[in-house]
């Protein structure tokens, strides 16, 4: 690819995929509210708030793809999530439509299905069961991607990102862990796979205990089971979202 735009480049996922995206794009445009510094030839940085399609068009004109990671990363009041996640995604998709960017990769989340029981293996075809307001915002993000694919012909890949950590931090993450290496692999695959149309995929490592079905394309390399002996065995969460699915996790944002 000639040019790829990466929004939310200063975040956790952005840091994990930045180097891999440099391998597939001659020019990588890094966008964030926070200041960034180019780290390699071909990188450009833009400090911006994605507050309108026009702002995104100015950044993304002529790009081959946009990887959209910017947004509110966890549970928050619904107005904040609507502005940061839903409206921000709309601005990116609308900018892609108007400026002719053919492909957009959207950061979705495993939290979109966090209220499924841990005993159920979930595929992208099953209905959403979000574990909180954050998960609800990601349902809307995926719906926007579907709309722009069906109505305007954009190629849209939604990656339901697992628990991105250097290694699993708790028992739930033995199922949900996404290693940095596998995270990069899923995003490169989302950019380079052919005949996308619209796809929703779980981005999770090859964990023995994983809750979610893996799809075609990139096959993850790491397994959280290698770390199981370091973590206490508490029987696992009843719901896939674990503590995120507890009422208290959302109630504090409903006052």
Active site (annotated) includes residue 218: no
d(CA 1, CA 205) in angstroms, rounded, equals: 26
CB 157 within 8 A of CB 210: no
d(CA 197, CA 195) in angstroms, rounded, equals: 6
* Length, in residues, of the chain: 255
From the candidates 116, 134, 202, 249, which is the catalytic residue?
A: 134
d(CA 230, CA 48) in angstroms, rounded, equals: 41
Residue with tokens 């989302």: 190
The torsion region of residue 59 among left (phi > 0), alpha (psi -120 to 50) and beta comes to: alpha
d(CA 62, CA 158) in angstroms, rounded, equals: 22
CB 5 within 8 A of CB 60: yes
For the annotated catalytic residues, the residue numbers are 134
């Amino acid at each position: 690819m000639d040019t790829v735009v990466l929004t939310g480049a200063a975040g956790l996922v952005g840091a994990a995929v930045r180097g891999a995206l440099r391998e597939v794009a001659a020019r990588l445009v890094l966008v964030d509210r926070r200041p960034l510094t180019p780290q390699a030839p071909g990188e450009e940085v833009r400090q911006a708030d994605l507050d309108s399609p026009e702002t995104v068009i100015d950044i993304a004109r002529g790009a081959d793809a946009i990887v959209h990671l910017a947004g509110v990363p966890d549970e928050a009041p619904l107005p904040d999530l609507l502005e940061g996640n839903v409206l921000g995604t709309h601005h990116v998709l609308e900018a892609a439509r108007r400026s002719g960017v053919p492909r957009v990769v959207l950061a979705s989340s495993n939290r979109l299905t966090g209220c499924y029981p841990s005993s159920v293996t979930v595929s992208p075809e099953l209905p959403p069961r979000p574990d909180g307001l954050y998960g609800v915002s990601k349902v809307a993000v995926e719906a926007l991607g579907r709309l722009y694919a069906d109505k305007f012909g954009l190629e849209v890949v939604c990656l339901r990102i697992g628990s991105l950590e250097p290694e699993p931090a708790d028992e739930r993450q033995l199922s949900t862990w996404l290693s940095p290496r596998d995270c990069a692999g899923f995003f490169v695959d989302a950019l380079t796979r052919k005949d996308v149309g619209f796809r929703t995929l779980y981005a999770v490592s090859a964990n023995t205990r994983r809750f979610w079905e893996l799809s075609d394309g990139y096959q993850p390399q790491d397994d959280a089971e290698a770390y199981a002996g370091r973590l206490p065995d508490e029987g696992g969460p009843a719901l896939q979202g674990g503590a995120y699915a507890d009422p208290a996790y959302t109630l504090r944002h409903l006052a």
